[in-house]
Amino acid sequence: MSSSAPRAAVGRYGERVAAEHLRGAGLVVLDRNWRCRWGELDLVARDGDCLVGVEVKTRRSTACGSPLEAITPAKVARLRRLLGAWLAEHPVRPAALRLDAVAVLRPPSGPALVEHVRGIG
């Protein structure tokens, strides 16, 4: 097993938790782990007539800071391009676009802690 396997499992867990959280908040998840040559969108969702690209950051602890601190301005710019590329490939015509972030903290025991930040850039 590679050293990235546990990290990948944590990431998949976080994306599952984030998708459930978004559904619970009334969003409709349209796509997961969509990839193109410029990168990957973790989740694409619809919030009413708004199309939302969602970056999910999952951590086991805050020892290295909040999961949200990993989202840099360069990452936001790339997410914007990725959401445009997703839109170009799908027959969806939203009234608005938005980028959100979902931070998932997976403690050693108990439920995950989820923070959803709307409109990151």
CATH at 27? 3.40.1350.10
Specify the number of domains making up the chain: 1
- Contact at 8 Å (CB) between 44 and 83? yes
| The pLDDT value given to residue 82 | 98
Domain range enclosing 68: 4-117
| The pLDDT value given to residue 4 | 64
| The pLDDT value given to residue 98 | 98
Ranges of residues in the chain with a pLDDT under 70 are 1-4
| The pLDDT value given to residue 48 | 97
